[in-house]
Amino acid sequence: MKKIYGIIGYPVVNSLSPTLHNAALKAAGINAEYRVFDLLPDDPEALANFCYEVQLNKIDGFSVTRPDKQEVMAYM
């Protein structure tokens, strides 16, 4: 089963993280994908929904960029 990782924040659509992480995962032979999760700032409902969906969608881990670093702690 493919593992899913990613980065959340705004804007992250142009982040180089997926390119770098996916290349490293492929080179290491790890069955995983690193995705972008672009969340609008100052939208606590979107952040709460994402955190709920982490378990629902079996997301194995994610990085957090500004401005969500402090807010995401409430869901950890």
Cα separation, 63 vs 54, in Å, equals 12
Catalytic residue among 2, 26, 58, 69: 69
69 is catalytic: yes
Phi, psi of 33 (to 5 degrees): -140, 140
Respond yes or no on whether the N-terminal peptide bond of residue 18 is cis (omega within 30° of 0).
Answer: no
Cα separation, 60 vs 52, in Å, equals 13
Residues that are catalytic: 69
